[in-house]
Structure formats: structure tokens, C-alpha cells
Chain A
Amino acid sequence: MTPIFFLLFAAVAVFSALMVVLQRNPVASALYLVLSFCSLAGLYVLLHAPFLAAVQVIVYAGAIMVLFLFVIMLLNLRKDVEAGVHRTARQLFGWLLGLVLAAQLYLLLRAPWGLGPQGQEPAEAVQAVGNTQAIGLRLYTDYLLPFEVTSIVLLVAIVGAVVLSLRQGKHEGIEEAP
């Protein structure tokens, strides 16, 4: 059964990613991206990472994409006009480079994988405590420092976002970005 679900989620993910890139309307792109994230969440579940699947939906689809949509609507963006400087060159070289990269990745990845040593947490042990707890255990012991640093990063991001969106001087209108 698993392969079927995998193919399903994979197809949806690829299709919606393609739409994100090709759609003219930014709102449409955003929504397709949400779809892509959700299918990725499904894939995470298939990979025995239910916690991350949940976090994916909550954080990415639920917060980040909402932020995107707020900004799109704040700026009142209409359909993209595909004109502008270097339009032909951009399209041509962009796809070309993408294809080259694709070829390279294919060549790199088709060689047999020699998987390294198996990790220290066999599936059964993880099942015993549950995925979330397993992550928690690792997070608050071995990766405590990155954890603390990440919290500071978030603080900086908050401060930065606030500062950047403050109006200088006596302009009127909206004071903060949402």
C-alpha cells in the first residue's frame, strides 16, 4: 500500500510545485504552494515522522503561507505581467540551467547508494517512546545549544521584522507589517 500513497503524494507535490512556478496570479501560486506543503506532510508520515508532519502543516502551511497571503493582499498584487528586463534571456537561461542541473542531479543520484552505518535508534525503540518524545529527547540533550541559538534567531527575526516595517518619520498609514 505504501508505494501507492507515495506515488500519490509525490505526484501532487510535483504538480503543485510546477504550478507555483508557472502561475501568473500570486495568490494562486501561494495556494498551490500550500497544497505542496500538505502533500509533503503526508510524505513525512510515510517516513515515520508524524511529529514533523504536524509541524509542517502548522508552521509552513498554517503560519508562513498565511504570512505570504497577507503580504500579497496588502500589496494588492495583481496578475504578474511577464515583461521586464531581460525577459527572454531570463526564461531561456533559467530553464536551460534548470535542465542542466536536473541532468547533473540525475547522473549524481543514479549511482548505487552505499548507505552508511545504520543509526543508533532502531525503529522499534523509537516506537516505544513515540516519535515526539524521541525528538524531544535528542533536542534537549545533544542539540541544546542549537536550540537556544535558534530561539535567539527567532527573537532577532521578530525585532528585525518590526524595525524594518516601521515607517520613518511622520508618514501616515499602516505602522506595522502584519
Chain B
Amino acid sequence: MLDHLYLIPLLPLVGLLVNLALGARLGNRGVGLVGCAAIGAAFVVTALDLAALARLPEAARHVTQTAWTWMQAGGFRADVAFLLDPLSAVMCLVVTFVGFLIHVYSVGYMHGDSGYRRYFIALNLFTFSMLTLVLADNFVLMFVGWEGVGLCSYLLIGHWFERHSAAHAARKAFVVNRIGDFGFLLGIFLLATSLGTVNFHEVFAAAPERWAVGGALATATALLLFLGATGKSAQIPLYVWLPDAMEGPTPVSALIHAATMVTAGVYMVARCHALFELAPAALVTVAVIGAATALFAATIGLVQRDIKRVLAYSTVSQLGYMFLACGVGAYSAGIFHLATHAFFKALLFLGAGSVIHALSGEQDLRRMGGLKGRLPWTHGTMLIACLAIAGIPPFAGFFSKDAILAAAFAGPLRWLYYVGLLTAGLTAFYMFRLLYLTFYGGSRVTEEAEHHLHESPPAMVVPLAVLAVGSALVGLLGIPLLPGADRFGDFLKPVFADLGHLRELAAAAAAGHASATAAVGHAAAAGAHGAAAPGAHHASVGLEVALMAVSVAAGLVGIFVARRLYLLEPGVAQRLAERFQRAYRTLLDKYYVDELYGALVVRPLERLSGWLWRVFDVRVIDGAVDGTGGLVVLGGTILRLFQNGYVGTYAFFLVLGVVILFVSLGGAR
């Protein structure tokens, strides 16, 4: 199977082509079947490939397959080639497994939608692009996948494009992403011109040799790549598209804006860890932005009233965690959290979808409540997801979040840990607020919604159940402290094997400079990661356990406060909101960031565009074109003067021509 890596992205592509060509004839049932089968098949291939990969000795877990040579010019080369190593295998597994479940869910959720076929085609196209992104073995192919997922995000957010808000949100997502993509592209250009290659293997081998640690080139490239990541993975400053993206169908939010597309940025940073390690300033930037975003988004999520908005801000916040992990050098912890997050966030979104579906489209938390008995499966699975995201053991979120917090604590900037801890508490709070407001207490459901209230069909409930099992158990793959229990981290080790060497380089360079921060940071990092390697844990076991206890405590505190405010004493929340009205409104209005961007960026650009259109396009360009035509007309008008209608004049010119002809002929003679 490892010889056929191309099958993994190919199968969804085949699915979408079949649906595109034959969809009308297959009917909705056929379309859904084809779409799900394609991803299901891709999942099977991925699983087989993963197993095959695991059977290889550790050093050899690095399989490439070139499909064909795409670009070759001089020394530069970019092929359509796929790379399967533990990192990409894990990503593929997440994408195909969660993707498959969401496809199945969509069959139920989108039943009866007029754009059913269009939806599945876009969903398959998305999966194809995402898999290309993840399996690419060079930056250019990865960028192709990167753009592809951006496109599908646009198509799917705007699935109900007749709604103005949806069309607007789709456009916003695309444009904001584009800004990030610009940075990404510039980063690729820097790599290509400086190192002469875009192949991952070659780049990561050449960069440490040729680039100065902390130098301008390394830092610039890393920061530009990270800009791309902030766009795709919704971090400060380019996160603003994600909450609006909730205009799309809920399964889309689950797949693209929770489990897969938004994680592309994290994947990219992890993949390019060599470059980031060579640019300590950039790495610190990553960590700081990650932590800041995590806290920032969590605060906004505290007061949101739309169930999907809460989850959107939660996603932004959790992505911040992942970047924080990468920023302090704990890449495998970041990827671990990516995987666990995919499960419980997808579950949360699909569950929310189930609730919305049951309530005939209601999304406002203030009009829910008391649904526990009516939607038992939805409630049960969402409860598990909430426990997972709050970091309660033994559910998945606990292990991954804890790994990140431990790394942050040991990292160069201690205050990042405290930010992370605070965010953990807030996360637990707002998630359980959501849970209580939706399922517990008295029913605030409207009359008409009440009429059609029913648990969702099996097509929707079964994926919920599967994801719940995953959310419960996946965490057990990454148990810290116990030797050999961190299967996840061990599996990913070969990918990050060069970290030791890179950190030595960085430390040496730092020691060479008189830079105190860098030296301290790297010595500490080197020390901490020496500690993170299996077998060298002993000195910090006690510390780790203490940290675990603290994070669990934070989670529990969050849950209890939420319980108090939303279950036991419902009026308290209202009174608090009134008391701290200014703060409340600021949070509710998302710190007015959208308004700020609108004033600073959007409107000036619109004015510039308008000017360019009216003055430049109409007057200059059209003027030039019309002017050329006008010139021709002018020429004709002048030439017309010769046509005075008199034969005699024409004869005169005829003879004149002959005379001139004789001159030239006579010259020859």
C-alpha cells in the first residue's frame, strides 16, 4: 500500500468527479453514497499505510512517492510528490476519519437541501485539497492544497449564498485568508531563492547549514510562513473570518473550521520546525500570539449567544493552544492536541448541529434549555465532548492540554503558562455554560420549535457516538510520565529528531551573541526538552503531577462556576451582565475588532478601489483603448479629405503615383 500513496488524495478526487459528471443521474442518495464512499476508501488506505509505516524501523519511516514532475527549470524543481511520515500519517488519519464521519452526518443533516450535490462535490474537493496539503513533499504542492482548502472554504461557507450574510462571510474568509497566503507565498519565494529548492527534505537539511541562526533570512522566512498560518488557522490578527464562517452548514463548520482546514497552519509550523528553530524570535512570536489568541478568544466566547459562535471562538482559542505548544518547542504536544481537538470539537459542532436541526434552525442559546430528556444521544455525546475540552481526565483533552501546559511552564516565558491556565479555566466555564443553557434547566424553546422537536436520525447520531468514543479514548495514546505510554509522542519522534541538533546550533549562536534572552531561552529549552525525552523525566515527575492537578482544578472551577450561574441560580448571570455592562458589551461585540479592521483597512481599500475604477480604469485604460479607436477615426477623417469626389483629383494622384514609381525604378536603372 505504501507504493500507492497517491490513492489517498486521489480517491476523494475521483468521488467528486463522479458526482460532478453523473450526479444529476445518481440522485441525492447516490451522490451521498459516492461522496462518503470516496472518503471511506481514503480512510482505509490511510489506515493501511499507517500500519505499514509503523512496521518500518523508526529511522526509515519516511516514504516518498513522486507522481509526476511538475516544474523543472534550471536547478529548481517542484514535483507532484507525496511524503508519508508519522506527522503526515497522523494528519491524514484525522482528516479521513473525522472527514468520513462528517460526510455520513451530512447525509442526514443536508437531507432535502437544494444544493445537496454541490455540497458533496465541494466537500470531496476539500478533502482532496487537504490531503494534498498534508501529503505534499514540497512547499509548492502544499501551497496548492492550501489554496484549494481556502477555495472550498469559500464555496462551503457560501453554500446558502442567497443569504447575504453567508455570501459576505464567504468573501471575508477568502480575502482574509488571502492576506495570510500572501505571507506564505513570500516565505516560499525566500526559501526558493535562498536555498534553491522547495522540497521539504532538502530545505530542512540545507537551512541549518546555510542560514545564520536568528539571522534576518531565517526570521523573515519563519515569520512570513507564520503569517500564512495565522490566516489559515485563525490567530491574531487574521482570525476574524472564523466566527463569521459559521454561516455555513454545521457539518462544514465541524470539518473545515474545527477539525481540519484550520489545523493546516499548525501542521505547517510543525512541519517547518527546523526553520522556526533557526529563528528564535519567530518562535517566541508564535508562542506569544498563540497564547494571546487563546485567552482573547476565550474571553469573547464567554458571553456569546449563538451556539455556533461560542464553538467558533472556542476553536480559535484551542488553536492558540496548539501554536503555543509549537512556540515553546513541544511540537508533538501541539499535534497531539490537534488530533484530540479534532475529535471533540467536531463532536461539539455536530452535536450543535443536531440541536439546531431538532429545533428547526434555532441557534440562539437564550431560546434553548431543558433538552436533556428530548435529545438524549445528543446530550450524552456533547457532555463527553465538554468534559474532554475542559481537560477532565481521562478524556482526551486532558492529556493533550496538560502536555502543552507542562511544556509552557518549562518554556522560556513562564507567563505563557499562566495565560494558558487561565484560558483552561475559562474554556471549561464557557463550554459548560453552553451545555447548561442548551440541555438543562427550564425550557425556553419557542412554540413552533417545540412542535418538531425530535432526536436526530441515525445518520447523524452514529457519527456523534463514534466521535464521543474517540474523544474519550484518544487521549490514552499520549499518557505522559509512564514510560512507553506516550505512543503518540513516540510515533512522532522521528519527525522531530533533528530538534536536538537544531537547539545546539541555536544555543551556540546565542552564546556567541551577548543576547541574554536568547541564551537563557535556549539553554532552558534545551534543558526542558532533554527532560521531555523519554527516560529523562525523573527530575520533574513531581512537578508534572502538580501541574496536572492544577490544570484539572482549573477546569473543575470553571465547571462549578458555570453550574452556579446557569443551572442553580439563573438570575445571577443577568445581574452580573448589568453590573459590568461596559465590559459585557465589549466582550459581546468582540472587542470591536471587526469595526477596527473595517475602518482601518476595508473602507480605505474600498475607497481606493472605487477611485481606481472611476479614474484609472475608466479614464486611463478605457481612455487609452477608446483613444486608439478615436485615433483611427481621426486618421480616417483626415484621409477622407482626399476623397473629394472629383475624378480628376483621383487621376492626378494616380499619375503622381506612377511618377514616384518611376523614380524608384529609374534609380535601379
Contact = CB atoms under 8 A, between A and B. Distances in A.
Direct contact of A and B (CB under 8 A): yes
Interface of A: 85-86, 90, 93-94, 97, 100-101, 104-105, 107-108, 111
Interface stretch (B213-221, B310-318, B613-621, B652-660): B652-660
A100 B659 contact: yes
A104 B652 contact: no
Nearest to B656: A97
Nearest to A97: B655
B68 interface: no
Contact of A86 (B648, B663, B666): B648
A85 B644 CA distance: 11
B646 A85 contact: yes
A167 to B, nearest CB: 24
A104 B662 contact: yes
Contacts of A100: 659
Given A94-B652, A97-B659, 20 more contacts: A85-B646, A86-B648, A86-B649, A90-B648, A90-B652, A93-B652, A97-B652, A97-B655, A97-B656, A101-B655, A101-B658, A101-B659, A104-B659, A104-B662, A104-B663, A105-B662, A108-B662, A108-B666, A108-B669, A111-B669
A35 to B, nearest CB: 25
Nearest to A94: B652
**In terms of DSSP, what is the predominant structure of the interface of chain B?**
helix
Contacts of A86: 646, 648-649
A108 B661 CA distance: 12
Interface in B619-669: 646, 648-649, 652, 655-656, 658-659, 662-663, 666, 669
Contacts of A111: 669
A107 B666 CA distance: 8
**In terms of DSSP, what is the predominant structure of the interface of chain A?**
helix
Interface size, B (range): 10 to 19
A53 B466 CA distance: 116
Nearest to B655: A97
Nearest to A107: B666
Q: Which 3 A-B pairs have the closest CB atoms?
A: A104-B662, A97-B655, A108-B666
Contacts of A94: 652
A105 B648 CA distance: 22
A88 to B, nearest CB: 13
26 contacts: A85-B646, A86-B646, A86-B648, A86-B649, A90-B648, A90-B652, A93-B652, A94-B652, A97-B652, A97-B655, A97-B656, A97-B659, A100-B659, A101-B655, A101-B659, A101-B662, A104-B659, A104-B662, A104-B663, A104-B666, A105-B662, A107-B666, A108-B662, A108-B666, A108-B669, A111-B669
B474 to A, nearest CB: 97
Contacts of A105: 662
Contacts of A107: 666
A93 to B, nearest CB: 6
Nearest to A90: B648
Nearest to A101: B659
A111 B669 CA distance: 9
A105 B659 CA distance: 10
A105 B662 CA distance: 9
